[in-house]
Amino acid sequence: MKTPADPVRDYLSAAERETSALPADRRQELLADLAEHIEATRAVHPDAGPGEVLARLGDPFWTPVQKTVGVLLTLVLPTTANIIWEVTTIAPAGDEPALVANLVTLALLAATSTWLWRSRRA
């Protein structure tokens, strides 16, 4: 028979699995911080059920789509854009093209971060 503490235990177990690549001491520190945050949220919102408390934290992991989009938009696309810009620029054209390329890369990184943040909270 499931008890109200089971969702919290399941959440912490999922977080532990997802952080298995971390050193043991760092993983335990993270899990302790999560458990402390859950307890603090329960104290502030005593009428909130375990599901609502955990919903405030979000999923303890990214979906494969979020991982793929995150890697593509934060690493692959800006790197590819910079390589193409470097290869196709035969003569120095001044600082303006470099500034534009850097601003486009910065905008892409900001948009990706925003999308990942919002999808994590959804």
> Residues 66-111: pLDDT tens digits?
778 877 777 887 787 777 777 766 555 566 766 777 788 788 888 8
What is residue 21's three-state secondary structure?
coil
Check if the beta carbon of residue 112 is closer than 8 Å to that of residue 70. Answer: yes
Contact predicate 29/14, CB 8 Å: no
| Predicted confidence (pLDDT) at residue 37 exceeds the cutoff of 50 | yes
For residue 15, give the nearest of 28, 3, 4, 2 by alpha carbon.
28
Q: Is the pTM of this model over 0.85?
A: no
Q: Please give the pLDDT value at position 68.
A: 83
